[in-house]
Amino acid sequence: MDFDLSEEQALLKQSVDRLVADHYGFERRKSYAASPEGWSREMWRRYAELGLLGLPFAERDGGFGGGPVETMIVMEAMGRALALEPYLASVVLAGGVLRLAGSDAQRSAIVPPLVAGETILAFAHAERQARYDLADVATRARRDGTDFVLEGEKSLVLHGDSADRLVVSARLAGERRDPAGIALFLVDAKAKGVSRRPYPTQDGLRAAEISLASVAVGADSMLGEPGAALPLIERVVDEAIAALAAEAVGAMTALTDMTVEYLKTRRQFGVAIGSFQALQHRAADMLIALEQARSMTLFATMMATEPDAAERRRAISAAKVQLGRSARFVAQQATQLHGGIGMTMEYQAGHYMKRLTMIDLTFGDADHHLRTLARAGGLFA
Amino acid sequence: MDLRFTPEEIAFRDEVRAFLKQSLPEPLRRKMVEGLHPSKDDLVGWQRILNAKGWAVPHWPVEWGGTGWSPVQQYIFQDELQQAPAPPPLPFGVSMVGPVIIAFGSEAQKRRFLPRIANLDDWWCQGFSEPGSGSDLASLKTAAKREGEHYVVNGQKIWTTLAQHADWIFCLVRTDGQVKKQEGITFLLIDMKTPGITVRPIVTIDGGAEVNEVFFDDVKVPVENRVGAENKGWDYAKFLLGNERTGIARVGLSKERIRRIKQLAAVEQANGRPILEDERFREKLAALEVELKALEMTQLRVVAAERSRDRNKPDPYSSILKIKGAEIQQATTELMLEIVGPYAMPFRAEDEIEGANEPPVGPDWAATVAPTYFNWRKISIYGGSNEIQRNIIAKAILGL
């Protein structure tokens, strides 16, 4: 057992931390958020230069052969910065599908421009009725000779508005919630029949509702085995949950630091308010919640690539329970301890609360994963 | 970074498991599972089995009987011991006064006391708390006045665990009342057979006889039984309490309790089906398992950090272990209470349970459930209450 980062990982952490420290101050973030796309192409170029966009991909595909630990390092820094770019959507989610199931031809066509920052991907999987059920896919893929025609509505597609290509799930066979019968397709976001309704999310990120009206795709656009996509989707979502956990830890760390600093500087009744025990104990409880979340993020990172899917899902669910609960708690305490200033749009604390709240609601909230874990028999057999 | 145990660590775990399976007496293991208190003979016998194996004091330096294990191996050993479940080694000797003597004691004290601690030839108890000095421990008043080659001790200690069996007590005493309260405290080792010592039991709410009051009336203690320097006792006490907190998470014990809960909840029924099938109960249990897994990872992070840390200074992160460990252990007792339901009610004294002629009322494991729930409220109180731990976190980690 070894908790230390390797030399390369420590170096990566150093450069990512420096990148966001230098270029992702809160004022900068406001200007990125106010741009038409809602994120910074300039930052995206810097991520590409640093090799972050190719981190999880194999070296033979033009990537850097990193694993969950490398993703954790990047996502934690992005969480601290409240980064707005489509790293999760493009590299972790859609990129994850491509990495795990893409054919040689698909990978060699898409990975290099993705790594270079020229192509943005998004993962168009969720649907209005599905909530957190990953098997709930109503979108249909009809065979048309050797090709396919996609028909359906995709919802809450993270960064679906800026994506050049979409990884779309659709049903080849079976009923709406059947585990079998789902396939994944790589679809040009500008293809005939694809229409997108973009909108901002509560945390300042972007998403889109995407309609697929008789979208024709070739047989070579299918990712992985026809009808057997669910295990792959689950695997990629599990990796994304581990990544989100790291992002949440980054955000909670920054928010806790910021709150403690506020307690030391804000004066009332002639003293720093951090001298009051009632507030000290809230701050101590924030730290405990943060450290428990950090521990479960390490656990999730370790288990994200576990080949035994049932074991992996239990671990990931457990981590998401802890993350959801810690995130809710830390954000609420931070807002309370800041008082009025924490309620304002101009101050960063509230923005951390918004992102943390949305992370809890992404890919299943704490209660959803608690139910999943309980039904699977818990962690200790 | 690789958070899995290495093949060597797994082999070590298996070795510990095999030893426990072979050497932990089954009647003693049953007692632990049932929530009964091991007797003095049980504890002495078990400590001597460990000592014969060379595993009595693994965390001590090798020259005093330590094993030289890595921090991870130490953790695995503790974890397996607690999961077996074996009785926890009596902490007062091996985890409290032993390390203090090793770090601050004289050569003569080391030679005299350490081997006898490892073999539990001497049963130690802890004389820290006083009626007026609980959380504010440094305000303690028990006085030691120097007279020639002796200190003469007068005062009272309280909450002294298992003092009724003790051969020795280590005490914090006041040797200077004119300075800042932390700077006038001395650490003394006192033979319980010395004239002037009286032990009076305190019966706890569960009916248990764990704790005592200890009175000192002109008790003569040779100066050679002082640890370290006069008036430096507070430093040694802080060192000791920091050590106490890392062991206090008791992750392995909570794992064992959770397995026990699952086993019993699969049998006991509510509304015509096993309690374990009740979704609300299962979710409550799963939430506790998540907390425990997180605590285990946090504990391992603290263990891993030990390599790069001054081991003579307590890690303030151990306060997190104390708080969460206490909350989780207490939560297991509440789940047990929920499973047993109304059959928590009949009261039986512990000696009645063990030597019973009549069958129990309700399930045969019911009698200890409520007493354990009552008794384990102590966990968030002793060793620096959870509120004191929050003060430590606020001060030592957050800088408030």
For B28-44, how does the pLDDT look when each residue is reduced to its tens digit (9 = 90+)?
999 999 999 999 999 99
Place A375 in a pLDDT band, splitting at 50, 70 and 90: very high
**Six-digit token string for B293:** 């897994």
Amino acid at position A177, single letter: R
Which part of chain B has CATH 1.10.540.10? 7-89
Task: Decide: A215 and A187 in contact? Cβ < 8 Å.
Answer: yes
Average pLDDT score over residue span B369-389: 95
Report angle CA A47, A48, A51 to the nearest 5 degrees. 90
Measured in angstroms, the CA of A292 and the nearest CA of chain B are apart by 5
CB atoms A380 and B289 under 8 Å: yes
CB atoms B287 and A302 under 8 Å: no
CB atoms B390 and A274 under 8 Å: no
Chain B residue with CA closest to A378: the answer is: B286
Chain B residue with CA closest to A68: the answer is: B1
Average pLDDT score over residue span A172-198: 98
Q: What is the pLDDT of residue B219?
A: 98
B124 DSSP β-pair partners: B168
Average pLDDT score over residue span A132-141: 98
CB atoms A280 and B292 under 8 Å: no
Nearest CB among A288, A296, A321 relative to B324 is that of A288
Chain A residue with CA closest to B388: the answer is: A281
pLDDT greater than 70 at residue B246: no
Q: What is the DSSP letter of B397?
A: I
Q: How far is B29 from B62, CA to CA, in rounded Å?
A: 29
Distances (CA, A) of B342 to B282, B283, B347, B361: 20, 22, 12, 11
pLDDT greater than 90 at residue B26: yes
pLDDT greater than 90 at residue B86: yes
Place B244 in a pLDDT band, splitting at 50, 70 and 90: low
Place B243 in a pLDDT band, splitting at 50, 70 and 90: confident
CATH classification code of A123-223? 2.40.110.10
Measured in angstroms, the CA of B71 and the nearest CA of chain A are apart by 10
Domain B7-89 falls in which CATH fold?
Answer: Butyryl-Coa Dehydrogenase, subunit A; domain 1 (1.10.540)
pLDDT greater than 70 at residue B211: yes
Measured in angstroms, the CA of A370 and the nearest CA of chain B are apart by 6
- Residues of B taking part in catalysis: 244
Average pLDDT score over residue span A45-64: 97
Provide the ipTM. 0.96
Q: What is the pLDDT of residue A270?
A: 97
Chain B residue with CA closest to A306: the answer is: B4
- Which residues on chain A are in Cβ contact (under 8 Å) with B279? 371, 374
Closest CA to A140 of A164, A112, A172: A172
- Which residues on chain B are in Cβ contact (under 8 Å) with A273? none
Q: What is the pLDDT of residue A224?
A: 95
Closest CA to A378 of B262, B375, B243: B262
List Cβ neighbours of B155 (8 Å cut-off, separation of 6 or more).
B130, B141, B142, B143, B173, B215, B216
Average pLDDT, chain A: 97
CA dihedral (B368, B374, B380, B381) positive or negative:
negative
- Which residues on chain A are in Cβ contact (under 8 Å) with B397? 287
Q: How far is A227 from A184, CA to CA, in rounded Å?
A: 8
Closest CA to B396 of A279, A249, A329, A284: A284
Q: How far is B214 from B200, CA to CA, in rounded Å?
A: 6
Q: What is the pLDDT of residue B196?
A: 98
Chain A residue with CA closest to B301: the answer is: A3
Domain A230-375 coded CATH 3.40.50.880 = no
CB atoms B294 and A284 under 8 Å: no
Nearest CB among B283, B295, B300 relative to A370 is that of B283
CB atoms A275 and B298 under 8 Å: no
CB atoms B290 and A298 under 8 Å: no
CATH ID of A7-119, from 1.10.540.10, 1.10.760.10, 3.40.50.720, 2.40.10.10:
1.10.540.10
Which part of chain B has CATH 2.40.110.10? 124-231
CB atoms A1 and B5 under 8 Å: yes
Least confident among A272-286, B235-249, B276-290: B235-249
Nearest CB among B72, B295, B389 relative to A1 is that of B72
Domain B248-397 coded CATH 1.20.140.10 = yes
Average pLDDT, chain B: 94
Q: How far is B38 from B17, CA to CA, in rounded Å?
A: 21
Q: What is the pLDDT of residue B242?
A: 73
- Which residues on chain A are in Cβ contact (under 8 Å) with B262? 378
Locate tokens 């206090």: which residue? B248
**Helix, coil or strand: residue B212:** strand
- Architecture category of domain B124-231 in CATH: Beta Barrel (2.40)
**Six-digit token string for B217:** 């009336």
CB atoms B3 and A1 under 8 Å: yes
Nearest CB among A3, A281, A283 relative to B1 is that of A3
Domain ranges for chain A: 7-119, 123-223, 230-375
List Cβ neighbours of B7 (8 Å cut-off, separation of 6 or more).
none
Q: How far is A378 from A106, CA to CA, in rounded Å?
A: 39
Which part of chain B has CATH 1.20.140.10? 248-397
Q: What is the pLDDT of residue B308?
A: 72
Q: What is the pLDDT of residue B314?
A: 67
Task: Decide: A241 and A320 in contact? Cβ < 8 Å.
Answer: yes
Place B307 in a pLDDT band, splitting at 50, 70 and 90: confident
Residues A194-253: pLDDT tens digits? 999 999 999 999 999 999 999 999 999 999 999 999 999 999 999 999 999 999 999 999
